[in-house]
A = this chain, B = another copy of it.
Amino acid sequence: MIVRRTEEVKAEDVRDAGASGARIRVMIGEPEGAPHFILRHFQLEPGGFTPRHSHPWEHEVYVLAGKGAVLGGDREDKLEPGKAVFIPPDEEHQFRAATDNPLTFLCIIPRR
């Protein structure tokens, strides 16, 4: 068993093109021995966003805190704590914090 507090995992800036004000912590990943999927923690500062992009793997997301919005395909939905989001493979998507609020969420991806 591995138990980790969020704060003890180093937060890295998301450096992908098209990201702004976004930090990621890999809570459970390959170094921890995750066989199938990776548990990641994202913090977007107010006005921050992840890249608007698509890729062949899915996202499963759960909002922990804050306010924002998600773009998925041609839809947009508001985000708040307790909302779960499924982004299927190859669907264009983007996560955005509100301009006056941060947004914190978990995002799980398959191990490649």
A residues neighboring B (CB under 8 Å): 1-7, 9, 27-28, 32-37, 39, 41, 58, 60, 62, 64, 70, 72-73, 75, 77, 82-89, 91, 93, 106, 108, 110
Contact = CB atoms under 8 A, between A and B. Distances in A.
Given A62-B39, A72-B1, A75-B1, A28 B84 contact: yes
A60 B6 CA distance: 14
A72 B86 CA distance: 29
Contacts of A32: 86
A91 B2 CA distance: 11
Nearest to A37: B37
Contacts of A86: 1-3, 28, 32-34
